[in-house]
Amino acid sequence: MAYTVTPTPVGSQYCVCKVELSVCGQNLLDRDVTSKSDPFCVLFMEDNGKWVELDRTETAVNNLNPAFSKKFIVDYHFEEVQKLKFALFDQDKSSMQLYEHDFLGEFSCTLGMIVSSKKITRTLVLGNGKPAGKGMITIAAQELSDNRVITLSMAGRKLDKKDLFGKSDPFLEFHKPGDDGKWMLVHRTEVIKYTLDPIWKTFTVPLVSLCDGDIEKLIKVVMCYDYDSDGGHDFIGEFQTSVAKMCEAQDASPLELECINPKKQKKKKNYKNSGIIIVKSCKITRDFSFLDYILGGCQLMFTVGIDFTASNGNPRDPSSLHYINPMGTNEYLSAIWAVGQIIQDYDSDKMFPALGFGAQLPPDWKVSHEFAINFNPTNPFCSGVEGIVQAYSACLPHIRFYGPTNFSPIVNHVARFAAQATQQEAASQYFILLIITDGVISDMDETRHAVVQASKLPMSIIIVGVGNADFAAMEFLDGDSRVLRSHTGEEAVRDIVQFVPFRDFRNAPKETLAKAVLAELPQQVMQYFKHRNLPPINSEPA
């Protein structure tokens, strides 16, 4: 086993979030003669084909069933295949060199596999691939982030006048204690013009921003008047409170807090306050992340749609986009692998429908825009990405490339299943359609309509354009720059199409295509479930 140690961080800078991995071992091999093994676990991540050590647990003395208290913290990137290896060793010496310790077995998988299952238990294997006795490893994943947000509705009453004739334009500032002991500004409300009884707009901030996630921590609320356009303002008063105290406010019984000006308090004997700040309502909720939904059990349902129109060229001709080269690949297969190898970790049964369009099919050679490439219409499922690749290669000699390039039948096909999933009223399934095509869409009006309807469903569409055609129509469907409308004028509820031309990635590492194609997907998943007000299936209350 060639292991390397490096201090450099593994993975790209675009970290979605951090995941904590807890490790337990069961029935580990006993390598010690007089006592039981003293196991520790080492985590490696694959980087450019090499296993790089990330971290180690503590050593569990004399224990064949260890539950390690030290957790592994890993940056999670949905759009990457992050290969991990958990290796267990029996500590024999104080050396940091792993070859000095007895090897107890290892287990390799992707981080995606762990988070999609939340907890996995697997057999440990030795270097020769054989089981390490009865040794097992259990790995549990948890997202490391405080996703709570606080929503506040606040008002003021009988605030001090700025002066006899001056206008009063009050606003609030929220401060928390900084590491240096000084107050740090975390939020400022809008200015309400000409009033001593302001009602501010309801606002939401992350709980971590407001009080570092500690609802008992004191925060300071300062009341000011905005008195000119150069940003200067007058101090009215302040008070200190905590989120826990503000949460006592209910819609029916608001919380009233006195705003105090310390200078006036010292000067005036009969000083009461400089106004009342009213907390009308204070609610803490969770702003769920993509990983919350995955850890909650949401499955990503993957379907592939492949363009078999005549413009691709005869698959036996090396100039054809469907020609499988001596390396056993082409742009269609590269796109299937790039997207499929990421998505397949998030589907428990790994059975994926693979559909074709734009070809004439035997025996009557009628054109179909929605056919199973395994020629089994009642069961179009392929086992894993390998199964899609095999079905694709097998079907090429048996069909005639034809046309036109109609997208809407396949979009509507997946939308029917996505619509059925909405009846569960749970964040349990999200559908991803990968369409790989070489050219211009023939049924643009119907496709626009289909996409606009699909935008209301738990569904995203990824389009990879192969070859060198004009893909302007695909850019039009990808609503990054403008809202997509159907031919009737109906707007898409959200942007669900991501288009990428394969030619931009021909000379790039294969991982780059997956990153570009899947970059928007976590956001689209969250956006849909939040829009529907659906929390993760196994979510905890805030």
The predicted pLDDT at position 521 comes to: 93
**What's the token pair of residue 434?**
């990968």
pTM for the full model? 0.81
The predicted pLDDT at position 164 comes to: 59
The predicted pLDDT at position 260 comes to: 92
**What's the token pair of residue 226?**
């905005």
Residue among 115, 64, 58 at smallest CA distance from 342: 115
Using CA of residue 523, residue 524, residue 528, residue 529, what is the dihedral sign? negative
Q: Which CATH class is domain 148-286?
A: mainly beta
Q: Are the CB atoms for 29 and 104 separated by under 8 Å?
A: yes
Taking each helix axis from N to C end, the angle separating 510-518 and 331-343, rounded to the nearest 10 degrees, works out to 60
The predicted pLDDT at position 42 comes to: 98
Residue among 345, 296, 357 at smallest CA distance from 78: 345
Distance between CA atoms of residues 463 and 475, nearest Å: 10
Distance between CA atoms of residues 153 and 283, nearest Å: 9
Peptide bond into 363 cis (omega under 30): yes
**What's the token pair of residue 36?**
């039981």
The predicted pLDDT at position 438 comes to: 93
Residue among 75, 78, 71 at smallest CA distance from 57: 71
The predicted pLDDT at position 116 comes to: 94
Return the CATH architecture of domain 17-144. Sandwich (2.60)
Using CA of residue 190, residue 196, residue 202, residue 206, what is the dihedral sign? positive
C-alpha 443: how far from chain center: 32
C-alpha 304: how far from chain center: 21
CATH number attached to the domain at 294-504? 3.40.50.410
Q: For tokens 């520790």, what's the residue?
A: 40
Taking each helix axis from N to C end, the angle separating 384-395 and 331-343, rounded to the nearest 10 degrees, works out to 160
Taking each helix axis from N to C end, the angle separating 408-422 and 444-454, rounded to the nearest 10 degrees, works out to 10
For 288, residues 6+ apart whose C-beta sits below 8 A from its C-beta are: 147, 526, 529, 530, 535, 536, 539
- Number of H helices and E strands in the chain, helices first, is 12, 27
Measured at the alpha carbon of residue 520, what is the angle toward residues 527 and 350, in degrees to the nearest 5?
A: 90
Using CA of residue 54, residue 59, residue 64, residue 66, what is the dihedral sign? negative
Q: For tokens 């179009």, what's the residue?
A: 380
The two domains 17-144 and 148-286 share their CATH topology (first three levels equal): yes
Domain boundaries, the chain: 17-144, 148-286, 294-504
Mind spelling out the 3-state secondary structure of 84-134? EEEEEEECCCCCCCHHHCEEEEEEEEEHHHHHHHCEEEEEEECCCCCEEEE
For 282, residues 6+ apart whose C-beta sits below 8 A from its C-beta are: 150, 151, 152, 153, 243, 246, 247, 248, 249, 255
For 203, residues 6+ apart whose C-beta sits below 8 A from its C-beta are: 151, 152, 187, 189
Q: For tokens 């080492």, what's the residue?
A: 42
Q: For tokens 């006795």, what's the residue?
A: 133
The predicted pLDDT at position 439 comes to: 82
The predicted pLDDT at position 476 comes to: 76
pLDDT in tens, the chain (542 residues): 343 333 333 333 344 688 999 999 999 999 877 778 999 999 999 998 999 999 999 999 999 999 999 999 999 999 999 999 999 999 987 888 898 899 999 999 999 999 999 999 999 999 999 999 999 999 999 988 888 999 999 999 988 876 556 667 899 999 999 888 889 889 989 988 888 899 999 999 999 889 999 999 999 998 878 655 555 578 889 999 999 999 998 777 899 999 999 998 988 888 999 899 999 999 999 889 999 999 999 999 999 999 999 999 999 999 999 999 888 899 999 999 999 999 999 999 999 999 999 999 999 999 999 999 999 999 999 999 999 999 999 999 999 999 999 999 999 999 999 999 999 889 999 999 999 999 889 999 999 999 999 999 999 999 999 998 888 878 777 766 678 888 889 999 999 999 999 999 988 887 899 988 898 899 999 999 999 999 998 777 66
